[in-house]
Chains A and B, each alone.
Chain A
Amino acid sequence: GAGVSQSPSNKVTEKGKDVELRCDPISGHTALYWYRQSLGQGLEFLIYFQGNSAPDKSGLPSDRFSAERTGGSVSTLTIQRTQQEDSAVYLCASSLSNQPQHFGDGTRLSIL
């Protein structure tokens, strides 16, 4: 499809395990963003990529969170040693520079 694709759509894991979330942006979009949406809450910014570099990582909540982007395309958000408070929907968005952001449908992460 032509939209932002995220996988998996749902992930259930045990506390303490590591998880990897994947985002395939719209082809040609140079900017990529990760946001977190907790139940009934707004969207919390995590990290922004321009190309493969991340000029703004200010939203990552702890050093257990990391993200990378390769080939100016796919991005992976990794959460190490997951905690129950990490349960949320993780949303990825992409855009051309200074253009509207387009969101994927998110990965629903549940930590048991």
Chain B
Amino acid sequence: QQQVKQSPQSLIVQKGGISIINCAYENTAFDYFPWYQQFPGKGPALLIAIRPDVSEKKEGRFTISFNKSAKQFSLHIMDSQPGDSATYFCAAWGDFGNEKLTFGTGTRLTIIP
């Protein structure tokens, strides 16, 4: 019930292409869905987040698409650049009496020239 499933585990995209990472959750009480970006040797950094009252949120080249009925959400990176090469984690949060995030297992994204 508390799991967040993330796919793919790794992804290689050509420069300028669209990178798409998908996540699915079970617990309908989740109501906040952030994406974190992590570079080697660094901690995760918040990239973009969405609440289930909207179906899409865009910030620059990064877009979250949210499908509440399917309990799925995805990250789209438009015009992918080599600097986007990192590990991406989706996460979910709900008011269960604690404030912990439940994370997906991560996607290692590599952008090739």
Contacts and interface: CB of A to CB of B under 8 A. Distances in A.
Given A42-B106, A100-B49, A33 B43 contact: no
Interface residues of B, number: 22
Contacts, number: 55
B61 interface: no
**Interface of chain B: mostly helix, strand, loop or mixed:** loop
Interface in B93-113: 95, 97-106
Nearest to A9: B41
A104 interface: yes
B34 interface: yes
A59 interface: yes
Interface of A: 4, 31, 33, 35, 40-43, 45, 48, 50, 55-56, 58-59, 91, 93, 95, 97-98, 100-106
Interface of B: 6, 34, 36, 41-46, 49, 89, 95, 97-106
